[in-house]
Structure 1
Amino acid sequence: MASLAEKPRQSIAGLWNISFGFFGIQIGFALQNGNMSRIFQTLGASVDDLPWLWTAAPLTGLLVQPIIGHLSDRTWNRLGRRRPYFLTGAILSALALILMPLAPAVGAPLLFAALMLWLLDASLNISMEPFRAYVGDMLRSDQHAAGYAVQTAFIGAGAVVGSIFPYLLDAFGVSNSAPDGTLPDTVRLSFWCGGAALLAAVLWTVISTREYSPEEMAAFAGPGDEGEQPVRALAAKTFASSIAWLVAGIVVIAAVAQFGLEKEVYLLGGLLAAYGLLSAAAIALARQGRTSGMLTQIVGDFSGMPTIMKRLAVVQFFSWSALFIMWINTTPVVAQYHFDSPDPASAGFQEAGNWVGVLFATYNGVAAVAALALLPLLARRIGKARTHMVGLAAGAVGFASFLLITDPNWLLLSEIGIGIAWASILAMPYAILASALPQRKLGVYMGLFNVFIVIPQLLVATVMGSIMKAFFPGEPIWTILAAALVMAAASLAMLAVRDAPQAGR
């Protein structure tokens, strides 16, 4: 058997260029995560309204990421395979960041802000998803860990910039207060500058890198890259699982109507039922031999995920549930329990919002350092899987400490544990998977893996509000306890995961 071609080793400059665009993408995510609850509350939303207002973000990710992954696996034009999606997403993201602060000036400001969040999150996902596969495309398997570590460092650095921007503008004298129902200049300028930085960073990667041609990628491909087995297996499946998904969705919808649950839970039921119908359609198409379509391919790949990916999906489910709880609830928690200012119209609430930006910048800064220093050291000593287990445990401790700390300054210590977990979440699962997945389907598998980032966010957005209203009305601090518990569950779930063997390509 002829030996396979081997990808050239990337230099430090090459690793930098491949992932620098993620620096800008994460500025956009940080501005979204750190400020959207603040914006929604400033525009008149209550704490209980926040989960459903955030549903646009994970819903768009659920739809966009597998589709973009599937398409980018099959794209080749003058810009390449993945770079057309980087650039398109960056342009749309920058537009959303520019328009978001204009919400108070339109007739329905809260609706406009929710629509801009939808556009922003969809566009960020269009850029982000191919970046995960891009590292696998461009690097040899023995550089995967280094590549994802550099990417994580840029994610952390970009998030620091995006998170701390309002605080720094306030420190330099930009107004951090505004009349009721309007946004302070610190927030407005942060979004506009963030849009410019995002576009510039992605352009750097687009201009400074060259993707391998389809012929070169075919030469690099290894055994098992045929990748059609999941679709063939789909044709042999019965409709039982499809019916089960459909029935589950109908049960959830009926429960909402019967027990008066929050209306956003309808979304969860609708998604379950929709997947049941789509999977049934895909099975029917596969049985007819029509296996080349997007629906059949994506459903086949989803149902035929490798075992290691399924086990890591459980870990992703728990860990991202904790993160989404944090992003939604940190501002109201810090404002109410650490600044004693739950009123969004108060100066103390805006001060708390800026401090949350500092806290988010801290955990992202810790993540950037941990990705390059701590995680590689631990991975060499105890393996990538056990390193991820330790990192997630550190995050659980960080969340739990919120219940014990009253001085907001000491919350910086909590962010150290959260930052270590964040670094591990962004690097270790992808480093474990990259060498185990078929190269020619890397985009769609990375997109499907990211579904398990989105599903827990949808659950949190649709269910958390009902739980809080029923058991802890007006007490958002208990959401952080929930984050600690589910992060601990993610750490324990890593006991079922072993490091993937290295592939020689």
Structure 2
Amino acid sequence: MSFGFLGIQFGFALQNANVSRIFETLGARVEDIPILWIAAPITGLIIQPIIGHLSDSTWNRFGRRRPYFMVGAFLTTLALFFMPNSPSLWIAAGMLWIMDASINISMEPFRAFVGDNLPSEQRTMGFAMQSFFIGTGAVVASALPYILTNWFGVPNTAEEGVIPLSVKLSFYIGGVVLFLSVLYTVLTSKEYSPEELAAFEKEKEKMSGVKNVPKVAITSGQFLRNGLIWTLVGAAATLLIYLSSLGEQNGQLYIVGGLLL
């Protein structure tokens, strides 16, 4: 059930460990790299709630979460194959947005998968297994260029403007591992229909004698009010940075105000 997280973390770890190197190889200045990395928080902020809501509302013959697993895994694999072959800096920056969005398409339903399939008393163990595969994938993927160079003699350097072979092979291997691990989870895991989940909850209520009280939904007015509050906070933070010397010393602080907006 959690094995697919091994591949998802492979993708994240390769991205985090090597994309800055790819940017520099393609001509990015060190001081420009942070703004190129804005893709990660922005895509997570946008994609995660959308995919979470859509997967909660989905049910078809392929299941609830598994269609998102496969779509995200397929897109991420393509992005991992293409990223180290980017011909220019801005194409690589665009691929980072695509890769991060694709990973989030698979990752968010995976987080809910354990909660869907396991009773509350087993969820701690389920999430612990997710953490185990996350840690394993992160360590192995981060070390992959080193392993290829020092254990198998794959070159770790190349001509100026060319991505080294060790980085390219690491992304190719990561793409294969990601797709196969997610595919394994899809083929070997069962999902319960909304009717079955509702029946489980009723049976649990009968056995425990405690009835689950549904949460009160947030109204559109409350949602709008909260959004306006955070917009004002972001505008105030941006104005404070502009009026103080902080903006002149570090222009990247404007990103903080922009994220709040």
Q: Output the TM-score relative to the length of structure 1.
A: 0.47
Give the counterpart letter for 1:86 in structure 2: F
Indicate the residue corresponding to 2:208 in structure 1: none
Indicate the residue corresponding to 2:158 in structure 1: 178
The number of equivalent residue pairs is: 249
SS in 2 for 1:19: coil
Indicate the residue corresponding to 1:372 in structure 2: none
Distance 1:238 1:94, change over 3 A: closer
Is 1:129 the equivalent of 2:96? Answer: no
| Aligned equivalents of 1:235, 1:51: Cα separation in 2 | 36
Task: Give a deviation string over 1:211-240, Cα, whole Å, max 9, x none.
Answer: 00111111123643633x032xx3674966
After superposition, residues 53-132 of structure 1 pair within 5 angstroms as 53-103=36-86, 106=87, 109-132=88-111
| Aligned equivalents of 1:235, 1:120: Cα separation in 2 | 32
Structure 1 position 82, deviation (Å): 0.6
Indicate the residue corresponding to 2:217 in structure 1: 230
Indicate the residue corresponding to 1:194 in structure 2: 174
Q: Output the TM-score relative to the length of structure 2.
A: 0.87
Is 1:162 the equivalent of 2:149? Answer: no
Flag structure 1 segments of 5+ consecutive residues without an equivalent: 1-17, 274-505
Flag structure 2 segments of 5+ consecutive residues without an equivalent: 206-210
| Aligned equivalents of 1:266, 1:112: Cα separation in 2 | 24
Give the counterpart letter for 2:53 in structure 1: H
Give the counterpart letter for 2:233 in structure 1: A
Is 1:41 the equivalent of 2:28? Answer: no
Most deviating of 47-56 and 165-174: 47-56
| Aligned equivalents of 1:270, 1:138: Cα separation in 2 | 38
| Aligned equivalents of 1:266, 1:133: Cα separation in 2 | 34
Q: Pick from 166, 178, 193: which aligns with 1:213?
A: 193
**TM-align CA RMSD:** 2.1
SS in 2 for 1:244: helix
Structure 1 position 110, deviation (Å): 1.5
| Aligned equivalents of 1:123, 1:241: Cα separation in 2 | 29
Identity of aligned residues (%): 54
| Aligned equivalents of 2:223, 2:66: Cα separation in 1 | 39
Q: Pick from 13, 19, 27: which aligns with 2:10?
A: 27
| Aligned equivalents of 1:224, 1:196: Cα separation in 2 | 43
| Aligned equivalents of 1:208, 1:240: Cα separation in 2 | 45
Task: Give a deviation string over 1:405-443, Cα, whole Å, max 9, x none.
Answer: xxxxxxxxxxxxxxxxxxxxxxxxxxxxxxxxxxxxxxx
| Aligned equivalents of 1:35, 1:70: Cα separation in 2 | 31
SS in 2 for 1:44: coil
Structure 1 position 201, deviation (Å): 0.7
After superposition, residues 249-398 of structure 1 pair within 5 angstroms as 249-255=234-240, 257-258=242-243, 260-261=247-248, 262=250, 264-273=252-261
Give the counterpart letter for 2:232 in structure 1: V
| Aligned equivalents of 1:53, 1:184: Cα separation in 2 | 21
Structure 1 position 73, deviation (Å): 0.7
Q: Whose RCO is larger (CA < 8 A, sep 6+)?
A: 2
Q: Pick from 143, 153, 157: which aligns with 2:122?
A: 143
| Aligned equivalents of 2:25, 2:93: Cα separation in 1 | 13
Structure 1 position 44, deviation (Å): 2.4
Structure 1 position 154, deviation (Å): 1.1
Structure 1 position 129, deviation (Å): 0.7
SS in 2 for 1:48: helix
Structure 1 position 180, deviation (Å): 1.4
Give the counterpart letter for 1:252 in structure 2: A
Give the counterpart letter for 2:68 in structure 1: Y
Give the counterpart letter for 2:258 in structure 1: G
Task: Give a deviation string over 1:332-385, Cα, whole Å, max 9, x none.
Answer: xxxxxxxxxxxxxxxxxxxxxxxxxxxxxxxxxxxxxxxxxxxxxxxxxxxxxx
